[in-house]
Structure 1
Amino acid sequence: MTLTTVIDANVAASLASALDLVTASAPLELNTRITMPSGTTSGKADLCWSDTRTVAASSTDALDLAGTLAGVLGGTLTIVKLKAVLVRAAAANVNNVRVNRPASNGVPLFLAASDGIDVLPGGLFLWVAPGAGVTVTAATGDLLNIDNSGAGTSVTYDVVLVGTSA
């Protein structure tokens, strides 16, 4: 089984200001493409997992990257090196989707335990480290928590994880 991963990030913006005789503009375009061919060494990936998930109000969805994620083609995935994470919050969410490193057994995606980032409704979080990635250690550093930031309503999110099996 082979995996080819292409991650594109594009930002295009144009700032314009009408002056007396002309309109001044400042266009911006930043495009980045990261390609990871199939493999387990630096710059490569051989595992990809994705899902649309819902987290109940004030709850946590603990993603265990070492041995509990069901593969799309069968079997269970065990990610050894995490290379990319994409979390997209549904626009209809009322609460934020919180991506974080749990205090116990967290994947060292963020600097310290309990660090994380809120993904506001309609927003996304994208992290990519195509080289070495971060090490996922079964039972001691294999959890990525996705929390619902508040009470009252559930949140829905899409998630994509890319990594290696060795």
Structure 2
Amino acid sequence: MPLSGAMLAVSAYAELSTALDLGTGKAPQSLSRQMSLKNGTAAGQADRVFSDRRTLAASATEDLDLAGVLLDAFGSAITFARIKGLVIAAAAGNTNNVVVGAAASNPWATLLSSTGTVTLRPGAFLAVGTGTADATGYAVTAATADLLKIANSAGSTSVTYDIHIIGASA
């Protein structure tokens, strides 16, 4: 089943200001990136997507198998060979943090290395996109480098997070 389109956009804006003798000085600063992908497996293309809201019990962890275990919205198994976009967002109502990365075995290491992690505090999010000129993306190797670990940082309460993965099968 073809992917009819995918887009990932991130934008940041801030404005510094200071009082001057005869007015106010302002320095607006912004950074925006956007990636639109068409159906396929080459540069600027993707053909797989996984999206879910998940909850982990206190102190729980899960390894999301990026090669053959996750199911798409229609119940079909997804095998990613390359990840082109990833968004993970911790629920604002969480008490504990959501920790991403460092699976004990077969870690998906092309983004964070095999031991690297990112801690998402309540309400925080992580967004990564490869850009439309990148055909490689972040490689997934079935059975040896395909597990994305997600963990609840503490034993007091459960955590909820949303995840959206855009990638290619080849």
TM-score relative to the length of structure 2: 0.91
Q: 1:89 aligned to 2:115?
A: no
Stretch deviating more after TM superposition (128-137 or 155-164): 128-137
Q: 1:9 aligned to 2:5?
A: no
Runs of 4+ in 1 over 3 A off after TM superposition: none
Whether the 8 Å CA contact 1:65–1:77 is kept in 2: the answer is yes
Among 155, 161, 164, the residue aligned to 1:151: 155
Q: Deviations over 1:26-82 (max 9, x none)?
A: 111222111111101122100011000011111112101111111112311111111
Whole-angstrom distance in 2 between the partners of 1:110 and 1:46: 20
> Equivalent residue for 1:113?
114
Among 152, 159, 168, the residue aligned to 1:164: 168
Whether the 8 Å CA contact 2:101–2:112 is kept in 1: the answer is no
Between the two proteins, the alignment pairs up a number of residues equal to 166
Residue 18 of structure 1 deviates from its aligned partner by 2.5
Whether the 8 Å CA contact 2:38–2:44 is kept in 1: the answer is yes
Q: 1:138 aligned to 2:142?
A: yes
Whole-angstrom distance in 2 between the partners of 1:69 and 1:48: 10
Residue 20 of structure 1 deviates from its aligned partner by 4.0
Unaligned runs of 5+ in 2: none
Whole-angstrom distance in 2 between the partners of 1:114 and 1:144: 11
Stretch deviating more after TM superposition (29-38 or 118-127): 29-38
Percent identity between the aligned chains?
Answer: 42
Q: 1:33 aligned to 2:34?
A: yes
Residue 111 of structure 1 deviates from its aligned partner by 4.5
Residue 113 of structure 1 deviates from its aligned partner by 1.6
The alpha-carbon distance between structure 1 residues 129 and 63, as it changes in their structure 2 partners (threshold 3 A), is: same
Residue 112 of structure 1 deviates from its aligned partner by 2.8
Stretch deviating more after TM superposition (12-21 or 61-70): 12-21
SS in 2 for 1:72: coil
Whether the 8 Å CA contact 1:101–1:109 is kept in 2: the answer is no
Unaligned runs of 5+ in 1: none
TM-score relative to the length of structure 1: 0.93
Whole-angstrom distance in 2 between the partners of 1:111 and 1:74: 29
Stretch deviating more after TM superposition (30-39 or 109-118): 109-118
Whole-angstrom distance in 2 between the partners of 1:86 and 1:111: 14
Q: Deviations over 1:82-118 (max 9, x none)?
A: 1111100111111111111313101123353221110
